[in-house]
A = this chain, B = another copy of it.
Amino acid sequence: MPRIGMEPLRRKALVDATLRTIGQQGSLDVTMSEIAREAGVSPALAHHYFGSKQQLLVATIRSLLARLRTDAVAALENVETPRERLSAIIRVSFQADQFAPETVAAWLAFYVEAQRSEEVRRLLIIYARRLRSNLLDSLERLCPPDDAARIAEGVAAMIDGLYIRQSLRSAPIGSTASVTLTEDYLDLQLRPFLRQDEPGTLAPNPSHRRGE
């Protein structure tokens, strides 16, 4: 069986298995044995490649972040206007693979781990900052900096809030409904800054423009 050049394959398999195991179990309390079994290798091999469980976890978070970044970059290319870029950012956050129960559970578990591990905390802060600065870039083209900062904070909070509520799975809000809710918030916040000659600006309520 042993072919050479297995390292990258095994590393990827183990990271993916970690994510899957954590997602299924909904917690970081997963054993190296479970992960290794899921990846189809022995626990000893996982230690061989990653040194420790903590390092495997960190590698897994990095992979989550990388996936999110890839999705975001893809969603933002060829999108020019600030308002459309904002919509793209929101759409990515609630995109199917990011909003899947296992992914949400994994994110949640990592937030808890961030309370203990400085390294995990740093990684999650990177995510928060990236979201924030993506939002700010576009918002500052649409309104004054103070308002941009405030609105970015609100949108980010709403995205994270819809995420965590998803994790409970009581009265789950769908992906499209989440997008709608966030878009409505954005529309309302931006309305005072719209040029008044645009149509529809004073419609009483924007909430039902998109399908639920």
Q: Is A48 an interface residue (CB 8 A)?
A: no
Give the distance to chain B from A183, nearest Cβ to Cβ, in Å: 11
CB-nearest residue of chain B to A188: B188
Chain A 194-211 interface 0/1 with B at a Cβ cutoff of 8 Å (1 = within): 000000000011010000
Q: Is A192 an interface residue (CB 8 A)?
A: yes
Residues of chain B within 8 A (CB-CB) of A181 are: 150, 153-154, 157
| Contact count band on A | 35 or more
Known contacts A157-B181, A161-B158; is A25 also within 8 Å of B124 by CB?
Answer: no
Please tell me if the beta carbons of A128 and B170 are within 8 angstroms of each other in the complex: yes
Q: Is A73 an interface residue (CB 8 A)?
A: no
Please tell me if the beta carbons of B160 and A164 are within 8 angstroms of each other in the complex: yes
Q: A164 touches which one: B111, B189, B205, B207 (CB < 8 A)?
A: B111
Q: Is A173 an interface residue (CB 8 A)?
A: yes
Within 8 A of B (CB), among A152-181: 153-154, 156-165, 167-168, 170-171, 173, 181
Residues of chain B within 8 A (CB-CB) of A205 are: 147, 192
A141 CA to B114 CA in the complex, in Å? 41
Residues of chain B within 8 A (CB-CB) of A165 are: 128, 156-157, 160
Q: Is A116 an interface residue (CB 8 A)?
A: yes
Please tell me if the beta carbons of B156 and A111 are within 8 angstroms of each other in the complex: no
Q: Is A185 an interface residue (CB 8 A)?
A: yes
Q: In this complex, which of A29, A113, A159, A161 has the most chain B Cβ atoms within 10 angstroms of its Cβ?
A: A161
Please tell me if the beta carbons of A111 and B161 are within 8 angstroms of each other in the complex: no
Residues of chain B within 8 A (CB-CB) of A173 are: 153
Residues of chain B within 8 A (CB-CB) of A28 are: 112
Give residues in A with beta carbon < 8 Å to B.
Answer: 25-29, 105, 108-109, 111-116, 121, 124-125, 128-129, 132, 147, 150, 153-154, 156-165, 167-168, 170-171, 173, 181, 184-185, 188-189, 192, 204-205, 207
